[in-house]
Amino acid sequence: MKKRVRFAPSPTGPFHIGSARVALFNYLFAKKNKGDFILRIEDTDKTRSKREYELDIIRSIKWLNINYDEGVTEESEKGSYGPYRQSERGEIYKKYLQKLLQEDKAYPCFCSAEELEKERKKQLERGEAPRYSGKCAQKKNEKKGDFVIRFRSPKEESTTFNDLIRGKVSFDNNEIGDFVIGKSDFSALYNFVVVIDDHEMEISHVIRGEDHISNTPRQILIQKALGINTPYYAHLPLILGPDKSKLSKRHAAVSVQEYKEMGYLPEAMINFISFLGWNPGGEREIYSLEEIIEEFKLEKCKKSGAVFNIDKLDSINGYYIRQKDDNELAEMCVPFLTESGFLEQKEGKYFNSQGKQFSLEDIAKTVSICKERMKNLSEITKLADYFFAPVDYDKEMLRWKNMSDEEIYDSLKRGEEAVLEIDKWDMESIEKTLIERAGSDKGSFLWPFRVALSGKKASAGPFEISWVLGRDEVLKRLRKAKKKL
């Protein structure tokens, strides 16, 4: 039988990194097993669901290069099991809800919310699992006002399923109680719609977060009542914050969009996230998406949660940045440079605030000498500011060790002469000439030179900066530095 999996997020907020991982694992499983991956939008909660969040989900998944075979797209939807939005599947749920009602496997409950809340509190105080008393379970055809539809769950025995990651998981049926599956207008609730959709969409494996474990017996009970098959279940461990609780906004940035904006590369995110709670075994840690698919096995998933370690992400991201082709990297950096005001894009050309024009090639050169210092794309603005804007710095920064002002001035002057001597403006000639001129005391020559160009204590090297800046600009900056003394 063909394996079919789904990722079923609710569009109730910015797309979460934890959700992204669930989506990824479903995708990996589908690809590895030549199955189908479906994106279903769980928007039964009309008040909280928003179209903008739905778009955020779709775009984020796309940005990560996770493709799905069926489901909601930006424009419409694809696949033959639709509609893929639960808000559009009301009639389907109604049919099943009525069936259960007719067979007396579910019943209307007229208890008021206040009543229920009181009961719940009491149970909680007594240290019991709150569950419905069953007050309306026996009353027939009471017809006054709104009601909810409760599932008549068995009071004896237990429900057990074989989790593909955790093994046997068992729940006492008596702990479950008669839970609500729908309302008087025949709109259906989560535990019910999931079962119906997974069945109708012929989902074979449900791969989701550990937080759904306790919903699983309820869903299995509904499947039994309906006489439909139970899919395989696999519950992934959660992504944790530094305090080991579920990763949330108070720990770190949690939306995929935020990571994109900070300048993390999708391939780095994928590599990092897939190795949270999963590992192919062995010592290699850098894998492309294709390689991860090739290695992917559900059984290799860990059972325990994994702390989201931003340092590790940074290190992986830095690695991917260093591997990137300069031109490609330049294009990826442009949005960050324009966003922060260093460059302005006009008719496909780039200008700095002084009106100086930069070609993409210029930017690529700049990026090429900064990239080994970048942990993420946004850092280009701090690392390369002196290429796009005038430098300003304190005179003292020019001082190498105990040099006197005169020595610094002399050093700068020698630099100027050297620059004039360089015949061919390429990296080798620049380096060769400057090194020759530096003599044995490289620091006292190279440090003031470099600071004059970059205005920074830490930056790329003087040869590299010179190469990118060009002779005229280098001369200009050296002269400007001399005037400070």
Partner RNA sequence: GGCCCCGUCGUCUAGUCUGGUCUAGGACGCCAGGUUUUCAUUCUGGUAACACGGGUUCGAAUCCCGUCGGGGUCACCA
187 neighbors 151 (Cβ within 8 angstroms): no
291 binds RNA (CB under 7 A): no
Find the shortest distance in angstroms from Cβ 359 to RNA: 25
440 binds RNA (CB under 7 A): no
Find the shortest distance in angstroms from Cβ 246 to RNA: 4
Three-state DSSP at 285 gives coil
Find the shortest distance in angstroms from Cβ 386 to RNA: 12
Strand order in the sheet with 180-183: 106-109, 148-151, 180-183
Using CB under 7 A, which of 13, 83, 134, 461 touches RNA?
Answer: 461
480 binds RNA (CB under 7 A): no
- Contact segment (CB under 7 A) with RNA among 2-10, 20-28, 53-61, 344-352 equals 2-10
Q: For the chain, what percentages of helix, strand and coil (3-state, to nearest 5) are there?
A: 50, 15, 40
The DSSP secondary-structure symbol of 400 reads -
Using CB under 7 A, which of 159, 191, 204, 411 touches RNA?
Answer: 191
Find the shortest distance in angstroms from Cβ 210 to RNA: 6
Q: Residues 222 to 241: which contact RNA by CB under 7 A?
A: 237-238, 240
For residues 127 and 124, give the distance between their C-alpha atoms in angstroms, rounded to a whole number.
5
- If the CB atoms of residues 87 and 351 are measured against RNA, the closer one turns out to be 87
Q: Residues 389 to 418: which contact RNA by CB under 7 A?
A: 400
171 binds RNA (CB under 7 A): yes
| CA neighbor of 2 nearest in space, from 204, 228, 201 | 204
Q: Residues 52 to 71: which contact RNA by CB under 7 A?
A: none
| CA neighbor of 450 nearest in space, from 433, 429, 465, 467 | 465
- If the CB atoms of residues 351 and 461 are measured against RNA, the closer one turns out to be 461
Could you tell me which residues are beta bridge partners of residue 278?
301
- If the CB atoms of residues 112 and 353 are measured against RNA, the closer one turns out to be 112
Residue 277 burial by Cβ neighbours in a 10 Å radius (0-12, 13-18, 19+): buried
Longest dimension (CA), the chain: 102
Site string for RNA, 70-109 (x = CB under 7 A): ----------------x-----------------------
Using CB under 7 A, which of 79, 263, 266, 318 touches RNA?
Answer: 318
- Contact segment (CB under 7 A) with RNA among 58-66, 92-100, 161-169, 420-428 equals 161-169
Helix axes 462-469, 360-370, angle to 10 degrees: 170
457 binds RNA (CB under 7 A): yes
In order, the DSSP letters of 228-264 are -PPPEEEEEPPEE-TTSSBP-TTTS--BHHHHHHHT-
Site string for RNA, 118-157 (x = CB under 7 A): --x---x--xxxxx--------------x-x---------
Tell me which of 95, 121, 249, 457 is the catalytic residue.
249
Known active-site residue 249: yes
190 binds RNA (CB under 7 A): yes
Tokens of 274: 């897939």
248 neighbors 254 (Cβ within 8 angstroms): yes
Using CB under 7 A, which of 10, 317, 366, 433 touches RNA?
Answer: 10
Q: Residues 257 to 286: which contact RNA by CB under 7 A?
A: 275-279, 281-283, 285
243 binds RNA (CB under 7 A): yes
**Residue 39 CB coordination number (10 Å):** 27
Using CB under 7 A, which of 92, 136, 169, 228 touches RNA?
Answer: 169
Residues touching RNA, count (CB under 7 A) = 89
- If the CB atoms of residues 319 and 351 are measured against RNA, the closer one turns out to be 319
| Contact residues for 134 (Cβ-Cβ < 8 A; gap 6+) | 177, 178
**Residue 121 CB coordination number (10 Å):** 11
The DSSP secondary-structure symbol of 134 reads -
Using CB under 7 A, which of 420, 443, 470, 479 touches RNA?
Answer: 443
- Contact segment (CB under 7 A) with RNA among 24-32, 67-75, 249-257, 454-462 equals 454-462
Using CB under 7 A, which of 183, 224, 251, 484 touches RNA?
Answer: 183
Could you tell me which residues are beta bridge partners of residue 239?
306
| CA neighbor of 13 nearest in space, from 359, 263, 296, 248 | 248
240 neighbors 211 (Cβ within 8 angstroms): no
Phi-psi region of 39 (alpha: psi -120 to 50; beta: other; left: phi over 0): beta
17 neighbors 270 (Cβ within 8 angstroms): no
- If the CB atoms of residues 31 and 85 are measured against RNA, the closer one turns out to be 85
303 binds RNA (CB under 7 A): yes
- If the CB atoms of residues 91 and 347 are measured against RNA, the closer one turns out to be 91
CA angle 264, 267, 271 (to 5 degrees): 100
| Contact residues for 328 (Cβ-Cβ < 8 A; gap 6+) | none
189 binds RNA (CB under 7 A): yes
| CA neighbor of 430 nearest in space, from 438, 478, 398 | 438
- If the CB atoms of residues 183 and 199 are measured against RNA, the closer one turns out to be 183
Q: Which residues are catalytic?
A: 249
